[in-house]
Each structure stands twice: as structure tokens, then as C-alpha cells.
């Protein structure tokens, strides 16, 4: 549209781009200091078994409180960090912090940590995982690593070797945002995932009047079952969505319907009180974000 509406509009358009680019640079610079300034934290969102409404694991989600700009979303800063090696530092920090936190939880809830492709492919990733486990004394089976299909565009031999060595360590592997890439099925065949997270985009539009056929959810669940993998429906917000994914056999549900991401203090308080039940659509007692 900018191209068609004359010279003035075009200038405006490029000025916008330049602003975006310098914002990117500012964010990258800020991110370099964010770690040692203590501006990064992890919040934890419950993954709930919809049959009993009890929490089985928590996904660690990075939060950045910028001193001038306020909270910055990971969907903005993670891609910027991924353009440089910064993601490896940030990812390593998240891994260690999440293991330390989870090791303090009473009970056996797992912790899931997001791992970016660059971090997964870095030469000492297996070592970082082993060292985070050793330092925290978290049992490997309580750690789950979430990777996306973007990992699989890397060198085949290296990806498969890393995947296998992580499984040998005893950690669990989850495929995040399943169904959004080009070759989800091919990757499932190649790598023995423990869990498949059905992307939000399939969940959101799946009820009355939506634009996703709910048969897709049924198909993913049945495929996963036959491969002996667990399924998670991501981004469940409404009661009718919960009913649908539950009826169609999703093992776990993650979404605002049960809870937004919580601070670690909120998680600890709940677990220490033995309060493992999350009521769907319950009052928003916790609002970490």
C-alpha cells in the first residue's frame, strides 16, 4: 500500500523500518546486559491433566523487565537473540535456573524448558544439560526439553546424534508448535519424542464457527498414541475448546483456561500447600502477566 500512495508515504514507510531496525539494535544491546543486571526471570505455566484438573508439569517462559521500556515479550526478544550467539547464553541461563527452581518443588512435577535451534546445535549443548542437572540435582526424568521443527533443518547427523545423547541422559523431549512447519510428520518418524504440543492455531479455531477442522486434533492425537507419544493442546482459552480437546483425547492442556504463567513464588506456594488442582476458568487469582 505504501508503494502505491506516492513519495511521501514511501518515505514514511522507510522511516518506520529504520525505527524498527534501531529498536532491534537497542533491544539486542539491552539484552546483553539484561542477564547480569538481573532483568530476566522465568515464569511457569501449568500443563494440566484435564481428567483430574491436576498439574503435571510447568513450562518455563522467559520474562524481561527492561529498565526503560518495561516488560518486553519473548516473541520479540527471543528472535533477536537468535540472530546472534546471545541465545546460547540466555538459553543456558534459563536451563540452569529452571532446573534449580524445579529441584525445590515438593512432589514430582516436571519442568519444560524451551530450547532454540541454535542452542540445540551448539557443540556443548549436551554438556550444558548434564551440568544443569548435576548442579541442581534434579532427576533427569523431571526435565523436558521443548524443541521446534526448526532444529531439524540443521545437519542431519549432528541433530540425530544430539537427540539420542539427550535421551540417553534420561531427559524427555517434546516437539513444540507441532503442525506449523513443513514436515512435522517426517520429523516424528525420525526422532523418538515423548510429547507433541499441538500448536495453538489448531486449538483456537477448532470449535463452532472456527476455521480449523477439529478432525485435525483427533488425527494428531491418534497418530501420537500410535507412536506412544503424549499430546498437549496449547493455548486453550475457552470452555468449549477445553471440552473439545478433552473429548478428543489430548493428554494435557496448557492455556489461560487453567492458568496464565505464574511467578516462581506462586508456584512454590501452591506446591508447598499441596494445591495441585487448577480449576478451568477459575477466578484469575494469579496474574503474573
Residues that bind Mg ion (CB under 5 A): 114, 146, 176-177, 234
Q: Closest approach of Cβ 8 to ligand C2E, in Å? A: 36
| Long-range contacts of residues 51-57, Cβ cutoff 8 Å, at least 24 apart | 51/246, 52/277, 53/258, 53/277, 53/278, 53/279, 53/280, 54/276, 54/277, 54/278, 55/109, 55/276, 55/277, 55/278, 56/109, 56/110, 56/252, 57/109, 57/110, 57/111, 57/112, 57/144, 57/252
Q: Is 226 in the site for ligand C2E (CB under 6 A)?
A: no
Q: For ligand C2E, which residue of 92, 149, 176, 251 counts as binding (CB under 6 A)?
A: 176
Cα separation, 183 vs 203, in Å, equals 19
Q: 3-class SS at 147?
A: strand
Other CB atoms within a 10 A radius of the CB of residue 238 amount to 16
- For the CB of residue 128, give the shortest distance to Mg ion in the complex, in Å: 18
Strand partners, 232: 197, 252
Single residue of 73, 83, 183, 222 touching ligand C2E by CB under 6 A:
73
Nearest distance in Å: CB 237, ligand C2E: 4
Determine if 275 is a binding residue for ligand C2E (CB under 6 A). Answer: no
Question: In the bound complex, which residue of the shown chain has the CB atom lying closest to ligand C2E?
Answer: 255
C-alpha cell at 101: 527452581
259 interacts with ligand C2E by CB under 6 A: no
DSSP H helices, the chain, are: 6-34, 74-82, 86-103, 117-121, 125-136, 156-169, 184-190, 200-204, 215-226, 239-247, 264-272
Interface residue with ligand C2E among 46, 214, 261, 280 (CB under 6 A) is 261
Among 57, 114, 122, 231, binds ligand C2E (CB under 6 A): 114
> Do residues 166 and 173 make contact, with C-beta atoms less than 8 angstroms apart?
yes
CB of 2 to ligand C2E, least distance (A): 29
Question: Does residue number 62 form part of the binding site for ligand C2E (CB under 6 A)?
Answer: yes
Binding at 91: pick from ligand C2E, Mg ion, none (beta carbon under 5-8 Å per type): ligand C2E
- By CB under 6 A, tell whether 93 contacts ligand C2E: no
Task: Answer left, alpha or beta for residue 37, where phi above 0 means left and psi between -120 and 50 means alpha.
Answer: alpha
Site membership for ligand C2E, residue 94 (CB under 6 A): yes
The entry of Mg ion, ligand C2E, none that residue 214 binds, CB within 5 to 8 Å by partner kind: none
Query: Among 32, 41, 154, 256, which residue sits at the site for ligand C2E (rule: CB under 6 A)?
Result: 256
Q: How far is the CB of 57 from Mg ion (least distance, A)?
A: 11
For the record, the C-alpha cell of 141 comes out as 526424568
The residues binding ligand C2E (CB under 6 A) are: 45, 61-62, 73-75, 78, 91, 94, 114-116, 146, 176-177, 235-237, 254-256, 261
Amino acid at each position: 500500500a505504501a508503494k502505491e500512495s506516492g513519495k511521501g508515504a514511501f518515505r514514511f514507510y522507510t522511516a518506520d523500518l529504520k525505527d524498527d531496525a534501531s529498536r532491534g539494535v537497542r533491544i539486542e544491546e539491552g539484552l546483553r546486559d539484561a542477564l547480569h543486571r538481573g532483568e530476566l526471570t522465568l515464569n511457569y505455566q501449568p500443563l494440566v491433566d484435564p481428567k483430574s484438573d491436576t498439574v503435571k508439569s510447568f513450562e518455563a517462559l522467559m520474562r524481561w523487565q527492561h529498565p526503560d521500556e518495561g516488560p518486553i515479550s519473548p516473541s520479540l526478544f527471543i528472535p533477536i537473540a537468535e540472530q546472534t550467539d546471545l541465545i546460547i547464553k540466555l538459553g543456558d541461563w534459563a536451563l540452569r535456573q529452571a532446573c534449580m527452581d524445579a529441584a525445590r518443588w515438593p512432589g514430582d512435577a516436571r519442568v519444560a524448558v524451551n530450547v532454540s535451534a541454535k542452542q540445540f546445535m551448539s557443540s556443548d549443548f549436551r554438556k550444558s544439560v548434564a551440568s544443569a542437572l548435576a548442579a541442581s540435582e534434579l532427576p533427569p526424568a523431571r526435565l523436558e526439553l521443548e524443541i521446534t521443527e526448526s532444529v531439524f533443518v540443521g545437519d542431519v547427523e549432528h541433530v540425530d546424534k544430539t537427540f539420542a545423547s539427550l535421551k540417553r541422559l534420561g531427559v524427555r523431549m517434546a516437539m513444540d508448535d507441532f503442525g506449523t512447519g513443513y514436515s512435522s510428520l517426517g520429523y516424528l518418524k525420525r526422532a523418538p519424542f515423548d510429547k507433541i504440543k499441538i500448536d495453538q492455531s489448531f486449538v483456537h479455531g477448532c470449535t463452532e464457527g472456527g476455521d480449523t477442522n477439529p478432525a485435525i486434533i483427533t488425527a494428531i492425537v491418534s497418530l501420537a498414541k500410535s507412536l506412544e507419544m503424549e499430546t498437549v493442546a496449547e493455548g486453550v482459552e475457552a470452555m468449549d475448546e477445553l471440552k473439545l480437546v478433552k473429548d478428543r483425547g489430548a493428554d494435557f492442556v496448557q492455556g489461560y483456561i487453567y492458568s496464565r504463567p505464574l511467578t516462581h513464588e506462586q508456584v512454590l506456594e501452591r506446591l508447598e500447600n499441596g494445591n495441585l488442582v487448577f480449576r478451568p476458568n477459575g477466578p484469575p487469582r494469579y496474574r503474573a502477566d
